[in-house]
A and B are shown apart, each in its own frame.
Chain A
């Protein structure tokens, strides 16, 4: 897949205000998100494979057993490694949201850390108490 134009400032893809969570533990919503993204990629592969097979059958160029016997060239291996990384990043993109904020905060934010409850109860921020599920 060709990359985006490096001369352009990329469009922002994160949502201001975050997204709402519904399960008692927001981790469940996040995992569900991953499952869906994974499903999307599985489906994408199936469509691609179907297209490939259709073309090959039309051209009569795929012999039986040929796919299973195939090994990738070094260049193909390297390209696939890059694409695999992109795939994994996209699978876990939902976790980035929480990480991105502190990353882009100026350093002075470190000097005054917000008091956060420790231990098991730390998984839900206090804003969840306002009736609406956590937004992160």
Chain B
């Protein structure tokens, strides 16, 4: 199993490690093997039957969903996927529960010192007492994660951050890299290759959770001041301690991305990853407008996300929207039904400044293929875009201001 590489990693028993290994292996089986099996049944049986009865091909994801729903392979795939998703978190709880005291002490030690482990960096953490977490976070257990990002059980709690870090390691079965930062590494590095003239002085990561992809920006742009914001205090406390343990100078703030507390034109890059699909539609529009406001002229807004339905085949649209229907992700499909170019325009970005990329995972494909993609990015319409499966390609969109 992929084990965390930093000081905050949990002390696990042999059995706890084995359970996590099992869940990771099961996820890989469901998302690779069973998913491709379901696709084969679709192509061989369900789609032809649809065409015979309707005299045409399915036109969108919901039609594919409706046609597949009664099929046994969909039921087994879905039921096992839900069970496995639940077990991702359940496999972490026993070790986490036992380690909570030790975790808090380690984090306190790391956070108290104004310097990181080696004394080289000085990250910061700014929490706001009395901060109101939006209901879209506080009232939900997104992707079946009990307690969600903001669940707190004691003063100064950071257990939710640990649950996420360890759960993500099980969940991603290696596809997000040894430090769970493949998205950040693939994208920040790609941007540096693609835009060699871009020399950002200040970078902002929205909805950064535990800062696992925030740090990559500091790695690729060491001269920049890198900030991460989120609404969830336990994740931010953990993010700060994690960054200190990893020797990265990062600045975390408790803030709502819909109403940023930064002055106009103060950042060169505003980034987010896997964030917008967890935000209600109205919020997304406000967040993009805020990104526009805090960007300097010529600055870059970039969101790594699930690819939009408008650019995918009906089957792939259905496949990605599965989470929206069954994984406690109420904002997922509404987001994927939006056209990224439209929301960027409505937020004030000029249409000709719109851009999007499909970036091969640097961990999966290696530097060579990834570098080549900076010259010739692959197209969006692929069954690997934004899909956690072998050979994953990350999708992102945005615009220059």
A contact set with B: CB distance below 8 Å: 1-5, 8-17, 19-23, 28-29, 32-33, 36-37, 39-41, 43-44, 46-48, 51, 93, 132
Contact = CB atoms under 8 A, between A and B. Distances in A.
Given A17-B328, A40-B23, A33 B83 contact: yes
Contact of B79 (A13, A15, A21, A46): A21
B154 A8 contact: yes
The CB with the most chain A CB atoms within 10 A, among B18, B74, B87, B141, is that of B18
Given A9-B154, A17-B328, A32-B83, A40 B19 contact: yes
- B contact face: mostly helix, strand, loop, or mixed: helix
Nearest to B102: A5
Contacts of B83: 29, 32-33, 36
B111 to A, nearest CB: 20
A32 B98 contact: no
22 contacts: A4-B98, A5-B101, A8-B153, A10-B97, A11-B151, A12-B151, A13-B89, A15-B86, A15-B328, A16-B146, A22-B79, A23-B75, A32-B80, A36-B83, A36-B84, A37-B87, A39-B22, A40-B87, A44-B22, A46-B18, A47-B18, A48-B14
Contact of B75 (A4, A5, A19, A22): A22
A16 B145 CA distance: 9
Contact of B141 (A4, A15, A43): A15
B27 to A, nearest CB: 11
- A contact face: mostly helix, strand, loop, or mixed: loop
A41 B146 CA distance: 22
A23 B82 CA distance: 13
A37 B80 CA distance: 11
**Which 6 pairs, one residue from A and one from B, show the smallest C-beta to C-beta distance?**
A4-B97, A47-B18, A44-B18, A22-B75, A43-B22, A40-B22
A28 B80 CA distance: 11
A38 B238 CA distance: 33
Contacts of A9: 153-154
Nearest to A42: B22
Given A13-B90, A19-B86, A32-B83, A44 B15 contact: yes
B13 interface: yes
A101 B80 CA distance: 24
B72 to A, nearest CB: 9
Interface of B: 13-15, 17-19, 21-23, 26, 74-76, 78-80, 82-84, 86-87, 89-91, 93-94, 96-98, 100-101, 139-141, 144-147, 151, 153-154, 159, 163, 325-326, 328
Contacts of A19: 82, 86, 144
A1 B151 contact: no
A20 B326 contact: yes
Given A16-B139, A47-B17, 9 more contacts: A2-B98, A14-B146, A16-B141, A20-B78, A22-B82, A36-B83, A37-B87, A40-B22, A40-B91
B87 A36 contact: yes
Given A11-B93, A22-B74, A44-B15, A36 B144 contact: no
Contacts of A37: 87
Given A11-B151, A40-B22, A20 B82 contact: yes
Contacts of A29: 79, 82-83
B253 to A, nearest CB: 25
Nearest to A7: B101
A36 B26 contact: yes
Nearest to B139: A16
Contacts of A23: 75, 79
A47 B307 CA distance: 39
A48 B75 CA distance: 33
A16 B74 contact: no
